[in-house]
Amino acid sequence: MELSEFVDRLDAELRIDDYAELDASANGLQVGPDDGTVDHVAVAVDGVEATFERAIDADADVLVTHHGISWGGFDRVTGRTYDRLEPLVANDLALYVSHLPLDGHQELGNAAGVADVLGLEDRSPFGELGPEYIGQRGTAADAYSIDDLRERLQTALETGGQPVQTLAFGPDEIEEIAIVTGSGTDWLDEAVDAGADALITGEGKQKAYHEAREAGVHVVLAGHYATETFGVRALQGLVEEWGLETTYLEEPTGL
């Protein structure tokens, strides 16, 4: 497949342009030639030296990640920026990135993947960001206790051996669940307004403790990395349907 066609397909599926004014990440093709072909695609959560080297070792043509290397552009390509770019350019490895578009995709996205794990029904977009959404909410088929919810996530997610943390201030029976992966406690008020019993996200902020306690809602902190593996794995399945070879690169941070 031509690289340009590969990029166009992903751009369209993920609605990259709709998030252009909302996201600090330069979504889409961040590093790559104007032409080229793609036979082998590697996917990973983070675009960093470790995943670049592993993608090169796997002889991939393009690496698709959730977190890229351009957050508002570069002033200079020196130091750490040069060290990250150099193996990509030297080995003709293209880098494609989808940050918020992959969080918000209601079928392939990170929040959708967490909702799948929990078996949520009656799903709808959640986590407003301008005119778009970066999460999902739904109803548990059978109510969870906070311990059952934590155990389910602990078992299913790639937490790097770290425990799933809970701010257990909500009801005994958890039915309505809101999800914003990564760093999502800023959407706690929206979760409360939506009638959620629990907000699931990756990492927390200090203020979330008292906000959750005062609102009487659970907050589950399942790990930034751990909650954001689902999107790239879903993209892996998508590009396999296009007839391309794929490799998943797991580099858990435990954070």
Q: Is 224 annotated as a binding residue?
A: yes
In 3D space, the residue among 142, 110, 150, 149 whose CA is nearest the CA of residue 127 turns out to be 110
Phi, psi of 47 (to 5 degrees): -90, 95
Residue 184 to residue 127: CA distance in whole angstroms: 8
Burial-class residue 120 by CB neighbours within 10 Å (0-12, 13-18, 19+). buried
Q: Is 2 annotated as a binding residue?
A: no
- Report the amino acid identity of residue 71: W
In 3D space, the residue among 122, 121, 131, 73 whose CA is nearest the CA of residue 100 turns out to be 131
Angle value at C-alpha 81, between 75 and 85, nearest 5 degrees: 115
Q: Is 67 annotated as a binding residue?
A: yes
Q: What is the largest CA-CA distance in the chain?
A: 56
Structure tokens at 110: 């990170």
Residue 50 to residue 75: CA distance in whole angstroms: 23
> How many CA atoms lie within 13 Å of 80's alpha carbon, on the beta-carbon side?
5
Angle value at C-alpha 22, between 185 and 219, nearest 5 degrees: 10
Residue 247 to residue 9: CA distance in whole angstroms: 19
Q: Is 92 annotated as a binding residue?
A: no
Binding-site residues for a divalent metal cation sit at 66-67, 103, 224, 228
Question: Residues at the annotated binding site?
Answer: 66-67, 103, 224, 228
